[in-house]
Structures are given as structure tokens and as C-alpha cells.
Amino acid sequence: MDIVKKIEEAGLKGRGGGAFPTALKWTLAKKAKGKEKYVVCNASEGEPNVFKDGYILDNCLEEVINGIKIAQDFISAKDSYIYLNKNYSINKDVGNIIVFKKNSGYIGGEESSMCEAIEGKRAEPRKRPPFLTDCGLFGCPTLVNNVETFYYVSKIAKGEYNHCRFFSINGDVPNAGVYELPEDKTIFQALKETNNYPNFDFFTQIGGGASGEIMLPQELNKPVFGAGSITVYNRKTTDKYDLMEKWAEFFHTGNCDKCVPCREGAFRVYEMIKERNIDYDKLDDIFLTLKKSSFCSLGKGIPLPFESLMKKIR
């Protein structure tokens, strides 16, 4: 059976946060016409509280490389790249795969920005369409998957796929770390089974330590989403303005500054929160334009953590 059928049957979805069906992406990249094609493994993992890709690279690099090679063979790619977080390192042999160290901020992990960076340009998102599977790196069809996705492709190819995913569990917990658990485990179960479920009043941020949504204890009866992180915050000891300031600074300094809503909007959000002087009319305006008129999904996603926190934690 061909690999894409196996991936499809396994129901694998992208583990970088977007949850795009992997089999479909591979099919598009295979069908795309182009003299040359490329495979890129996105190992830029740059959001706070998400560290599972680093763990996988440290502990299961062979599987990741195997996954990349399967992709390279499948779409007959000329070259494959690993686009690596600048604080990560790979000390083992990766064969012909080119390791490219990320040299930009958070936005550099967005996959079209990543292509720009590898091409030697400023990391800035591209307008889509065209999609990367048609016109990606150096204008060629390009298949981009996250580290974890390639890891599981390798497992699927070997018939060892166990429908698991990697959880980055952190925050006010006793046993912080990366855990491989069944993907349908609820957040509640994941915390319980890793002996991390708090015995104090708390809230969580799910799917990313900046862009993730705030979830209350009674909302945890569902699987984890996004980049698979669970951050626990002690309600008593957490200052919500400190927390928001951290996010806001992250977005303001980590974005690419290309479009007005994100460049100026993220800055004003940071400014207002930092000064603890929030004009809610202005904030609502900025959130509206971020959601509706930002260039890329980073900008569109900025309001979610703030709005969910302000709504749920009074």
C-alpha cells in the first residue's frame, strides 16, 4: 500500500498547530507540477511553553529523518531541509538533509516566512494562494511538515502508529515535561495521568503559551489542540496583567511588522497592558482589525488568548 494511503487511513493531521490533513498535503505536493521540489521539516518551534519538537529531535531523530526521507522519495524532491530553532542543535548525522538554522523571530516559523528565510530574504509571510505545495521554496512545489508529523509518518510506514501525540505539560505543575499520550486523551485525563492535575484553583492555556486559548477546569473534557501544550496557572499566584504583558511583548517583538494591524496593533496592545492603562474601546478596535484584516494567521490569532482570559478570569 502506498504511503499516502497509510497516512490517510491513520488520519494523521499536521502537528505544528494547523491540523491540516497530512495525506492531502502530500497528495497536493505530489500532483503539483515542477521541475524541482523540496521537503522542509519545520523545527522552528518558537512559542513559549511548547517544547515537544525539541524533545523529539533529541530523543527520536532517526524517526524524523526517516519520515523526511519517505516524503522526499514520495514527491521526488531535489533536497530536504530541516529548519531549526536557533537554540536547538542536531549533533548526529542527518545524511543529505540540509540543516538551516532559523535566524529570525517567532514569525520566522510560519511556513511561508520560513521559505523566504531559507531563500536568504527577510522572514515575512507570503500572500496565498499560491500555496506552498504549488509554489514554495525557490518557487517550487514544497512539502512542509512539522517535526512531530514526520516522526509519526515514520511510525505509520513501519506499521507502528499508535494514534498518539506529544504533549508539552508545564506551568504550575509538579511533573512538567513532554509526554506521548493517545491523541484522544482529554486535557483532564492528560493532567491526571501524568500526576499533574492541580489541587488548587487554576486555569490553563491550551495549544501554545502565547496564542493558546484560556480554558477553565470545567472545560477540560476535550482533547488538546494546536501545538499540543497544556500550561497550568495557579489562579491565586498568577497576575493576569503580568501574563498578558508577557504575551503582548512576545507578539510585538516576534511579529514581522509587515501589516499595519499587527505591527501597530500588537504594539498598542503591549503598550496599554504594560502601562496597566487599558482603553477597552481602543483594545476592541485593535482586536477587531487584527482578527479581520491581518495579513497572516499570526496576527489573526493574537486576540484569542487576551479575549478568553479577560472573559473567563475576572
Given the rule CB under 8 A, which residues bind another protein?
105, 122, 127, 249, 252-253, 256-261, 263-265, 267-268, 271, 282, 285-286, 288-289, 292-295
Our CB check for another protein shows the closer of 204 and 289 to be 289
- The least CB distance from residue 248 to another protein, in Å, is 11
- Residue 258 neighbours by CB under 8 Å, 6+ apart: 124, 125, 295
- The least CB distance from residue 115 to another protein, in Å, is 16
How far is it, in rounded angstroms, from Cα 138 to Cα 208?
30
- The least CB distance from residue 285 to another protein, in Å, is 5
Our CB check for another protein shows the closer of 180 and 249 to be 249
Cell of 107: 514569525
- The least CB distance from residue 257 to another protein, in Å, is 4
Angle at 125 between CA 17 and CA 14, to 5 degrees: 20
Q: What share of the chain is helix, strand, coil (3-state, %, to 5)?
A: 45, 15, 40
- The least CB distance from residue 252 to another protein, in Å, is 5
- For 281, other C-beta atoms within 10 Å of its C-beta total 8
Our CB check for another protein shows the closer of 240 and 268 to be 268
Look at residue 212 and give its three-state secondary structure.
coil
Look at residue 85 and give its three-state secondary structure.
coil
The answer to whether the beta carbons of residues 209 and 46 sit under 8 Å apart is no
Our CB check for another protein shows the closer of 6 and 274 to be 274
Helix (H) or strand (E) holding 38, with range, is strand 38-43
Instruction: Fill in the amino acid letter for 243.
Output: L
Our CB check for another protein shows the closer of 160 and 284 to be 284
Our CB check for another protein shows the closer of 135 and 227 to be 135
- The least CB distance from residue 294 to another protein, in Å, is 8
